[in-house]
Amino acid sequence: MKKNIHPDYHPVVFRDALTGMQFLTRSTATSTVDVAWPDGNRYPLIVVDVTADSHPFWTGGRRIVDSTGQVEKFHRRYGKRGK
């Protein structure tokens, strides 16, 4: 493997901007802002808009689609086609 071509892979804390939930993982992303973690170390902090803690799919807040009404709406708009 070639040396000095890979980015630095280090521990980073990601924070959900909406819920404030934080988790520690490893990433090549970096930041000038750091945060204290319960283990006593300080890690770079990356604030993200969406995580599994706030995403509608995982929180159950996703939109319910009325599929039965969609068929009638299509037939009203375009009519039935056929022989």
What is the tens place of the pLDDT at every residue in 33-75?
A: 999 999 999 999 999 888 877 766 656 665 555 566 777 777 7
Tell me if residue 78 falls in helix, strand or coil: helix
**What confidence tier does 78 reach under pLDDT thresholds 50, 70, 90?**
confident
* Listed residue (68, 45, 52) closest to 19, CA to CA: 52
Tell me if residue 73 falls in helix, strand or coil: helix
pLDDT at 82 over 70: no
Question: Beta-strand (E) ranges in the chain?
Answer: 10-16, 22-27, 34-36, 42-48
Give the domain ranges of the chain: 1-59
* Listed residue (31, 27, 69) closest to 47, CA to CA: 31
Q: Which pLDDT score is estimated for 72?
A: 77
Please tell me the pTM assigned to this model.
0.63
Pairwise CA distance, residues 42 & 64, whole Å: 42
Q: How many helices (H) and strands (E) does the chain have?
A: 2, 4
Pairwise CA distance, residues 16 & 22, whole Å: 6
